[in-house]
């Protein structure tokens, strides 16, 4: 591609104060885990930046009783370095909660506790800087460094930071279906804002949840619990063929191993793109525990022939929506029957998931990035984005490579492995020892397979 690298300027000169080996942009769990794994590495200068005033992990969905869908061992560091001072067990010890946790016998911890654990790490690591918004990223050929343009929103102060390597961990953004996008506001909102918007549901007679992943299930369950007091009828619509459980068999979970990631990476791009939609139960379905809680509540509410003020309908696509009076009219289609129908509701909660987006801060670097035919990053085994040859530094991504690395990309259980892989790439393979085999399942053709021309 044509080079548009910016020329060197005096501001690009080397400085011990602003020159780093690795700068992380965004501080969600994945870049926070990378910061934690980088902290004990002698001689590696790192800095991690986030525009927010402090760490927060989906605060609108920190519902009481909601648990992680992965075991506590899938913390920021343990699956790479269980001796790390930043492990979840170390956090429990610091909080004087080891004995209560031991007696609770919980493998899956409350989501609120995971959020608190991450805040403890973020507040303790000197490399993490909040209140620092990254406005631009470019490559300086003269300095042979990335230049990170940073603004402190609280003061308006701006600064330029140089980095040999950069890792993007800016997270994903809420997905809003096109037919409902024009209605988003006080009474139609994404599930990520659920707890903040809960007061706006007061006075509604009918509340509709669209989407059936884990977030949709948790929101529906919370609404169902509150319904008798609030007087709501609660609807749950999904395009999926069922309100289905997450694949959680022990061998099925091996899809979330580095072994499967390597196999997926080796497939043709067209095969990867065709494969992902059919794997929705691996990463977009509902925990069996949450399904059980919903069914139990519906069962108890139906004792004596009563009809719960709730409805669950699968195979429903919302085709259009419009405001009508003080509510909304949803035009829908039952996808298997092909029948179209309308539903009236007062409020809509969009549990329609999240997706990676290209951040505007990349615009100054965009022409040096080798995008694929669909405008996505080309990402190698080390999570490094393919750049023009004149860029001698590396740009890594975290949770933006679902199309190249498969269903494990957004999974917390692979976060530490990915962080260690990036650090090994930065340090020349000296940061962390990683096992060569992580699954019993063999993905791909067996090593001892016979070729068609092999004599028996």
The answer to whether the CB of 76 falls within 8 A of the CB of 33 is: yes
pLDDT at 430: 86
The answer to whether the CB of 288 falls within 8 A of the CB of 248 is: yes
CATH of domain 19-172+356-427: 3.50.50.60
Strand ranges in 29-157 using DSSP code E only, listed in sequence order: 46-50, 128-130, 133-140, 145-151
Name the β-bridge partners of 138: 147
pLDDT at 70: 95
Tokens of 63: 């519902």
pLDDT at 5: 33
Domain positions in the chain are 19-172+356-427, 175-246+285-354
pLDDT at 374: 95
pLDDT at 456: 65
pLDDT at 422: 98
In a 10 Å sphere around its CB, with 0-12 CB exposed, 13-18 middle and 19+ buried, how is residue 455 labelled? Answer: exposed
Residue entry with tokens 């939609």: 277
20 closest CA partner among 44, 2, 54, 50: 44
Alpha carbon of residue 143 to chain centroid: 34
* CATH level 3 topology of 175-246+285-354: FAD/NAD(P)-binding domain (3.50.50)
Tokens of 181: 């996008």
pLDDT at 17: 62
pTM greater than 0.85: yes
Round the CA-based radius of gyration of the chain to a whole number and report it: 24
Name the β-bridge partners of 106: none
pLDDT at 420: 98
What CA–CA distance (Å, rounded) separates 115 from 211? Answer: 24
Tokens of 234: 């609660």
Mean pLDDT by 10 residues, the chain (456 residues): 33 58 98 98 97 96 94 98 98 98 96 98 98 97 96 93 97 95 97 97 97 96 96 96 94 96 97 96 94 96 89 97 95 97 98 95 97 96 98 98 97 98 95 96 91 74
The answer to whether the CB of 223 falls within 8 A of the CB of 207 is: yes
Half-sphere exposure of 236 (CA within 13 A, CB side): 23
What CA–CA distance (Å, rounded) separates 412 from 389? Answer: 32
Length of the chain: 456
pLDDT at 447: 86
What CA–CA distance (Å, rounded) separates 96 from 87? Answer: 14
The answer to whether the CB of 63 falls within 8 A of the CB of 155 is: no
pLDDT at 295: 96
- 175-246+285-354: same fold as 19-172+356-427? yes
pLDDT at 306: 86
What CA–CA distance (Å, rounded) separates 20 from 159? Answer: 14
């Amino acid at each position: 591609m044509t080079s548009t690298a910016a020329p060197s300027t005096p501001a690009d000169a080397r400085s011990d104060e602003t020159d780093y080996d690795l700068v992380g942009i965004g501080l969600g769990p994945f870049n926070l885990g990378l910061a934690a794994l980088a902290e004990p590495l002698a001689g590696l200068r790192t800095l991690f930046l986030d525009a927010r005033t402090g760490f927060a992990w989906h605060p609108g969905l920190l519902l009481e009783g909601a648990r992680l869908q992965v075991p506590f061992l899938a913390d920021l560091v343990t699956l790479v370095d269980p001796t790390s001072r930043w492990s979840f067990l170390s956090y429990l010890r610091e909080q004087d909660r080891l004995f209560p946790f031991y007696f609770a016998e919980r493998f899956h911890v409350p989501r609120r506790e995971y959020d608190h654990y991450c805040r403890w790490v973020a507040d303790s690591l000197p490399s993490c800087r909040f209140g620092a918004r990254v406005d631009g990223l470019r490559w300086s050929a003269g300095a042979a460094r990335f230049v990170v343009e940073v603004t402190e929103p609280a003061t308006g102060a701006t600064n330029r930071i140089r980095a040999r390597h950069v890792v993007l961990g800016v997270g994903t953004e809420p997905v809003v279906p096109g037919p409902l996008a024009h209605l988003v506001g006080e009474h139609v909102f994404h599930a990520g804002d659920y707890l903040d918007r809960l007061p706006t549901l007061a006075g509604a007679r009918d509340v509709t949840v669209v989407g059936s992943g884990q977030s949709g299930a948790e929101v529906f369950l919370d609404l169902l619990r509150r319904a008798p007091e609030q007087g709501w009828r609660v609807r749950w619509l999904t395009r999926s063929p069922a309100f289905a459980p997450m694949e959680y068999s022990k061998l099925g979970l091996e899809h979330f191993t580095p072994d499967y990631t390597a196999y997926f990476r080796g497939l043709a791009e067209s095969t990867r793109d065709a494969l992902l939609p059919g794997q929705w139960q691996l990463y977009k379905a509902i925990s069996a525990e949450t399904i059980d809680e919903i069914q139990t509540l519906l069962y108890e509410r139906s004792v004596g022939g009563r009809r719960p003020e709730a409805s669950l309908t699968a195979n429903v696509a919302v085709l259009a929506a419009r405001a009508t009076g003080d509510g909304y009219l949803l035009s829908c289609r039952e996808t298997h029957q092909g029948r179209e129908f309308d539903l009236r509701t007062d409020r809509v909660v969009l549990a329609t998931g999240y997706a990676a987006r290209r951040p505007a801060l990349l615009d100054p670097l965009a022409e040096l990035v080798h995008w694929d035919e669909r405008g996505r990053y080309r990402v190698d085994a080390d999570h490094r984005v393919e750049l023009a040859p004149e860029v001698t530094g590396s740009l890594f991504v975290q949770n933006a490579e679902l199309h190249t690395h498969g269903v494990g990309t957004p999974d917390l259980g692979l976060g530490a492995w990915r962080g260690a892989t990036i650090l090994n790439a930065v340090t020349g393979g000296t940061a962390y020892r990683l096992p060569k085999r992580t699954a019993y399942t063999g993905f791909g053709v067996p090593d001892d397979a016979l070729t068609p021309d092999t004599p028996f």
